[in-house]
Amino acid sequence: MKDNLLIFSGRSNKPLSQKIAEELKTDLSPITIKEFSDEEIWVKYEISLRRKDVFVIQSTDTAKNLVELFLLLNAAKKAKADRVIAVIPYFGYARQDIKDQPRVAMSAGLMCQLIEKAGATHVIMAELHNPAITNAFETAQFDHLYLTQKLWPFFQDISDLMVMSTDAGGAKMARYYATKLKTPRCAADKMRGGHNKVNEIRIMGDVANKNVLIVDDIADTCTTLTVAVESAKKMGAKDIYIACVHPVLSGQAVNILSQNQDIKIVYLTDTLDKRSLIEQQQKIKIISVADVFAKAIDHFHSNESIDSLFDQNSI
């Protein structure tokens, strides 16, 4: 790698950051992150950043990880780095992307603005719930990676397969899987009963006697997935498979997935570090996406196109 490339990791997902560095045949650069008794965070880069491309890898699944990212970006900016690139495998607040009722915050756009204000000159995110939220960036450049490319090959040998999204917003993802797997797909109409609550999923398509692959971008409480599985089975589906990119897995999600007898297997990625939750779960498989991020970093650092590598718009 070139001498002016430096890769740093926040504390959100050190294992993924280490794998990314290994893919790039380099090491994570030294950094010190401390937390005081009142939970204030303190960061310090242990080497000079002047005239360097500084890549900061940090998922933002918690408020603490967000603040840590802001501080890391700001410290790099103040240290006169040439370019400061925020690499965000999982972008928390991405689902708060529209003003769907009065007096609510446009949280996704606000977080983008804060990332930019903190010092990011470029941002690399992956598999966003709604990529349009990045219009909130005013000066920072943005690249969007699609990680479903790492998941679809695991389902290519399943016969009588039909791809199903959990709602209308997942239609593009379902189309991608169906195109790659050369299978039919069906749509779903999700009826919500509040935050993290799904009352009903109506399937628009015939899944009877089909093996069904349910795809989504985020596995959070997994209530949506549970209702989707129940709906598919009621309509006569055979085996149910699940592929989700981001393993948020809050609350009882792991138990919900592992104990559901109708689910054959679940594939997730390592955009979040959930090893401690699923290490004993035979049904849940984690696929690393480190190589995708490594290629993106390499192409950006070399001033080559990233979109040409990872864009799904042609599907």
Burial class (CB in 10 A: 0-12, 13-18, 19+), 282: exposed
Separation CA 183–CA 195 (nearest Å): 32
Sheet with 53-57: list strands edge to edge: 5-9, 53-57, 83-88, 122-126, 141-145
Separation CA 240–CA 210 (nearest Å): 9
Catalytic residue among 19, 52, 180, 190: 190
User: Active site includes 190?
Assistant: yes
Q: What amino acid occupies position 275?
A: R
DSSP-H helix ranges across the chain? 14-23, 63-78, 107-118, 171-181, 223-234, 253-259, 275-278, 290-301, 307-310
Q: Residues 54, 81: contact at Cβ < 8 Å?
A: yes
Residues with catalytic roles: 190
